[in-house]
A and B are shown apart, each in its own frame.
Chain A
């Protein structure tokens, strides 16, 4: 039964180790100036970590379609927040009227 899936603790420890490694990587990368890639690198690692937490710690990987739909809805709404906010920030430097 997917909803009652019980994982061996080994999985949690592995995920935790990966998360710590990623944190270490984020700190490490912060010491190098990658120019415009600075934010991209940090955010990529952060998103990867978030996905791991959602899939394993929050058990979504083993959950029903309804749970997936709820997660997808949340991510979509985050997308709305980001997209429309960026519609402001990315167009501020454009030629304005008058």
Chain B
């Protein structure tokens, strides 16, 4: 192996000091700023989860009061949903990769990109302040009329924090859409783009079309609280279910804002891990768009027991089943890609396997919930909690960590400790399943969500879940340590440590500030691996 050297000039040594970071317009540095931000909010949300699982280790509510418990799960949900899961992959991996993958020097609007980071941080700190100085007890869902009439906690500050952060999503989405339309290198046609870009594009459409609705909805909540308008409060002529319609019009698609980018990452990991083009490229690409559109047509499945009309519920139930089709297309196509591929067992691929397994369980239990009869039985139980954690944590975080490991050598120029990385991928997979699988069972048996005490017969399953959570916590901390360590002591990666195809692997690691020394000309399709690697079928 020839000696690898760091490139003399790259985006990390192009200026030092606080100003060079806080005023940067380089999409790669902004990605790292986001990395710091999302990691911060992830560990805050995670700390709340630790306290929740500690409380639930024993049946009586003995660790915190019921009111504190309400604030804990609200803070966990708000932090994780709005400040970690929704931004994480687009703002970290998307920011870093979108321009590089299309052969551009930067995003279309570099200053707006920096602005969206500041909006994100201001919104996050605002919400954090609201949650710490008294807290919020409405749950992350802000259901009315409780949030507008009854709750005595910091509804308005938290709502404003989320409102502010919404603009960060909209601006990032807009930036990606314009960049993908206008900034592609010569020869980089739509159907030569890596699938990560298709899913990022689909996600951006949801961001731009959906986020304004949640922003207005949350303003209506604040307005009703302050001025006592009758939007949602039935006592003055409002309708509480109207809030749920508006809230879930965004918040169901928000699940796809979280999981579509993870699907994009997995497509990249599977292709590189199997040395093969993704099976049925255009099906996977269009499945992303189909998920983005269909995702807007199913929100009523959150309201089957909320007084929604039966006829409406029927429509939403049927449409919800339909989302399974493009999702299954992706899972089957990844599996077909692996078939007779030179399948790798390196860390990124372990996360891809993890994603496929956990997403399949989460998706299939979603079909249970699309069926009205089953949904009525398990509404507001731990079955729901388990289902959406399988999608949002099992899906999004596995995709994110897989992508972070895959592109870490590109971002940092250095390799992490593969042994530790494999170990922690295993710990996370085991910890995750031990945490959330028992919750399917305990939920089906009837344990409701959002209570800090429960009957003793549920204790065994809850102890299993709490034990799993502590394993999961360790699994999340280990990568923090070895990734930081690798920044200084890791072996140099060279421009293409995985032997993968894709424009990002043709430039140095770390890339120069302008990404490429000369604008690439693309004459090949995505994932053109040499045929010699493929196994001989005969």
Contacts and interface: CB of A to CB of B under 8 A. Distances in A.
Contact of B245 (A88, A92, A96): A88
B296 interface: yes
B300 interface: yes
Interface stretch (A1-9, A35-43, A44-52, A72-80): A72-80
A88 B209 contact: no
B411 to A, nearest CB: 33
B423 interface: no
8 contacts: A80-B296, A81-B245, A84-B300, A85-B242, A85-B249, A87-B315, A88-B241, A88-B245
A32 interface: no
A73 B311 CA distance: 27
How would you classify the secondary structure of chain A's contact residues: helix, strand, loop or mixed? helix
A8 to B, nearest CB: 30
Interface in A57-98: 73-74, 77, 80-81, 84-85, 87-89, 91-92, 94, 96-97
B297 A91 contact: no
Interface of B: 209, 213, 241-242, 245-246, 249, 296-297, 299-300, 303, 308-312, 315-316
A97 B310 contact: yes
Contacts of A97: 310
Given A84-B300, A84-B315, A88-B241, A77 B209 contact: yes
A54 to B, nearest CB: 15
A74 B311 CA distance: 27
Nearest to B209: A77
B500 to A, nearest CB: 34
Contacts of B297: 80, 84
B213 A81 contact: yes
B296 A88 contact: no
Contacts of A74: 209
A77 B242 CA distance: 17
A91 B209 contact: no
Contacts of A73: 209
Nearest to A89: B309
A81 B241 contact: no
A77 B245 CA distance: 14
A96 B297 CA distance: 23
A85 B309 CA distance: 10
A52 to B, nearest CB: 20
Given A91-B312, A92-B309, 13 more contacts: A74-B209, A77-B296, A80-B297, A84-B312, A84-B315, A84-B316, A85-B249, A87-B312, A88-B300, A88-B312, A91-B309, A94-B309, A97-B310
A85 B213 CA distance: 13
Given A73-B209, A77-B209, A81-B213, A88 B309 contact: yes
B118 to A, nearest CB: 26
Nearest to B313: A88
A22 to B, nearest CB: 22
A94 B242 CA distance: 19
A76 to B, nearest CB: 9
A92 B311 CA distance: 8
Contacts of B310: 91, 96-97
B245 A85 contact: yes
Contacts of A84: 297, 299-300, 312, 315-316
B481 to A, nearest CB: 44
B47 to A, nearest CB: 36
A29 to B, nearest CB: 20
B311 A94 contact: yes
A20 B74 CA distance: 44
Contacts of A92: 309
Contacts of B300: 84, 87-88
A82 to B, nearest CB: 10
A58 to B, nearest CB: 15
A94 B171 CA distance: 43
B490 to A, nearest CB: 44
A74 B296 CA distance: 13
A94 B300 CA distance: 18
B213 A88 contact: no
A43 B316 CA distance: 27
Nearest to B250: A81
Nearest to A80: B296
A61 B221 CA distance: 34
* Most chain B CB neighbours (cut-off 10 Å) among A81, A88, A97: A88
A91 B311 contact: yes
Contacts of B245: 81, 85, 88
A14 B312 CA distance: 44
Contacts of A80: 296-297
A76 B315 CA distance: 19
* Most chain A CB neighbours (cut-off 10 Å) among B213, B245, B296, B299: B245
B90 to A, nearest CB: 20
A80 B206 CA distance: 13
A88 B311 CA distance: 7
Contacts of B242: 85
Shortest 4 CB-CB contacts between residues of A and residues of B? A88-B312, A91-B311, A91-B309, A92-B309
A89 B245 CA distance: 11
A80 B299 CA distance: 11
A84 B315 CA distance: 9
A64 B312 CA distance: 38
